[in-house]
Amino acid sequence: MDDPDTQSTPQAARSSIQVIDRSVAMLRAIAQAGPGGLALKSLTASAGLRPSTARTLLSALATHGLVRQRDPERHYLLGPTFFELNRAYVEQTDLASVATPVLRELWEKTDETVHLSVLKDGHRVDLAVLVSRQLLNINPTVARFDTATATVPFHTAAGKVLFAELDDARRDHLLTSAPWRSNVSESKAQLAALVSAVRQQGFATNVEEEAAGVCGVAAPVRDHSGAVVAALCIGYPSVRSTPAHQEAMRSAVLDAADTLSALLGARTDTVQQGEEER
């Protein structure tokens, strides 16, 4: 009796698609297994393949560096080619372009202003902004770079997220050299508490700290390494800042940030590891 996994199909195109589907199924199973990899028996069970089919496909994948075996267990792991592909993916990825559909979905869902921000030379800079269609809205302006009136980043929700991800030396440098340093009223102890709170809860809020009538909530966006590369923020007028609205905005921005992080290659365990290391 023929092996159903290796039986020829009526069309060569369909056969080729099956090979790709089965190969991807095995690669996903190996990836989900973690650092220990998978033995052949476990791999075939996870991918739903016969051992003979799995061996043939694994041999081809190994030839291209997509899988490898680790002695002495002979477990299968992802191969070095994935590192090369991931590096190329990162180089080809434009953050704002990748974020566009996520921002638009968040904008349509919340009907509030949404923006994607990074830190540049100690200032919060918006890479993309979608302003709420409501008559009363928040419209972020371009950050001011050259005067002492420049907004203190940790007086904004997005700025808090980004500031909290800096190492101690970088934060200390900004506090002593940035144009906005004279506008800082918080003590070192207060800033340390702020950083700790943002890292622990995984989001930050702004309740009229930047300007009267302006509120916001932001969450970190992570890349494949778990590092924070941006902050995703929702801004809204304080007149709409009810407990129910605050919770809805917080939930929405956290979900959107997770979605964008996944598009950048972040995994749940990578994000958790990054948080624990801090």
The CATH number that applies at residue 34 is 1.10.10.10
The answer to whether residue 6 sits within a structural domain is no
- Mean pLDDT, residues 262-272 taken together: 72
CATH of residue 187's domain is 3.30.450.40
The answer to whether residue 2 sits within a structural domain is no
Domain endpoint, select from 88, 121, 147: 88
- Considering the domain architecture, whether residues 76 and 183 belong to the same structural domain is answered as no
How far apart are alpha carbons 130 and 106 in whole angstroms? 10
Domain span at residue 37 reads 12-88
The pLDDT value given to residue 10: 56
Selection from 150, 170, 154 nearest residue 162 by Cα: 154
The pLDDT value given to residue 217: 98
- Considering the domain architecture, whether residues 245 and 152 belong to the same structural domain is answered as yes
Domain endpoint, select from 42, 70, 88: 88
The answer to whether residue 145 sits within a structural domain is yes
How far apart are alpha carbons 34 and 177 in whole angstroms? 43
The pLDDT value given to residue 141: 58
Domain endpoint, select from 35, 66, 88: 88
Strand 214-222 and strand 228-237: the pairing is antiparallel
- Considering the domain architecture, whether residues 74 and 123 belong to the same structural domain is answered as no
- Considering the domain architecture, whether residues 50 and 103 belong to the same structural domain is answered as no
Kindly indicate the confidence band of residue 93, based on its pLDDT and cuts at 50, 70 and 90.
low
More confident residue, 224 or 130: 130
Name the domain count of the chain.
2
